Amino acid sequence: MRVRWLLTGVSLLAAAGGVLGWWIHGRTPHLGQAAYGQTAAILAHGPRPPGSEGLTAVRSHVKSELAKAGWVTQGQSFERSTPVGSLTFENLRARFPAGAADPWGMHVRVILCAHLDSKHFKDQHFLGADDAASACAAIVEIAKFLAKRKPAQAQNLELVFFDGEESLGPDITAMDGLYGSRHYANQWRTRADKPEFGILLDMIGHEHLSILLSSDTPADLRERVMAAAKAEDAQRHFGMAMGPITDDHVPLNSAGIPTVDIIGDFGRSGWWHTPADNQKIISAKSLDISIRVTLRLLAGLLEK
């Protein structure tokens, strides 16, 4: 469920900030290709609306992939009334213990998240390849990379795969959609140990990659994203939307966790919420760009 003005503009920032020495452009592993394969693996389970067998299977797949890299996972189940009746949702959380006896008792500095569900349609076979299987696939590969190459950064992260991002009724309303992120954000609302930042990924794998940050993005995060994009020679793919976007970052910002939504420009796409949102529109190159920028952004946030 996303609402945004169709008028969009590109406002690239000139200042790149400091170049992070640990990342050498052009010498990264083929993370985009790996994420492309992960996207295909997710789509192989078919549509995955809340409560479906497809979503249960995809959640199990993600758990298995993360476990191979040493991450521990935890389900977060809850029930909500929806336009199609009462449903049980389940967010999937993951942390990298690095020897910690209780990884869930650790303080984490950054949340990296995406929504795992696909929108339910009665009249079409909707897979949601870019919305948002590609983002979940990218997070899985980022998690593997950090566990192997940057475990200290991994230990400062919580990964979250939200359930119920998409609206379930025919019309978008304030209370239909963002079920998982609203439930998750509420657990942090009154806590003093809440994470310092959040990064939401959504629709980051389209072959014609065009990221437009929401106009209400916290200023510091906006500048950091643009600097990371410039440092990765990807600034032409990143800009600013003219208006706000309703997505899973909204509840996190409301709960006091400054969060940026790194989201593809879907408003003029023609494929959004149609069967055309399938593996054919996904690009390993676009995924690699999005992953590299996200990794550089993470490194900058976690070196403070």
Q: Cα–chain-centroid distance for residue 141? A: 12
Tell me what pLDDT residue 172 has: 64
* Residue 110: partners with Cβ closer than 8 Å, 6 or more residues away: 156, 157, 158, 195, 196, 197, 198, 199, 298, 301, 302
Answer whether residue 108 is part of any domain. Answer: yes
pLDDT at 102 over 70: yes
| Total tally of structural domains belonging to the chain | 1
- Within a domain: residue 1? no
Q: Kindly state whether residue 238 falls inside one of the protein's structural domains.
A: yes
Q: Provide CB contacts within 8 A for 13, sequence distance 6+.
A: 222, 223, 226, 227, 230
Name the DSSP class of 14: S
Phi, psi of 17 (to 5 degrees): 75, -165
Residue 185 has pLDDT above 80, yes or no: yes
Domain that holds residue 260: 8-302
Is residue 199 in a domain? yes
**Cα–Cα–Cα angle for 191, 196, 199, nearest 5°?**
115
Place of tokens 């408003």: 267
Any domain includes 27:
yes
pLDDT of 303: 85
| Closest by Cα among 222, 221, 202, 199 to 210 | 202
pTM attached to this predicted model: 0.90
pLDDT at 10 over 70: no
Residue tagged 């996200």 (tokens)? 294
Average pLDDT over residues 178-204: 97
Q: What is the pLDDT of residue 269?
A: 72
Helices (H), ranges, 30-119:
31-43, 53-68
Structure-block tokens of residue 284? 């390993």
* 2 within some domain: no
Average pLDDT, integer, range 125-141: 97
Tell me whether residue 40 is in a domain.
yes
* Tens-digit pLDDT profile for residues 153-178: 999 999 999 999 999 987 667 789 99
CA distance 226 to 232: 10
What is the reported pLDDT for 24? 34
Whether 6 has a pLDDT exceeding 90, the answer reads no
Which pLDDT band, with edges at 50, 70 and 90, does 101 fall under? confident
Residue 294 has a pLDDT of: 98
The fraction of the chain above a pLDDT of 90, given in percent, is 83
In a domain, 159, yes or no: yes
Question: Where residue 133 sits, what CATH number does that domain have?
Answer: 3.40.630.10
Mean pLDDT, residues 186-204 taken together: 97
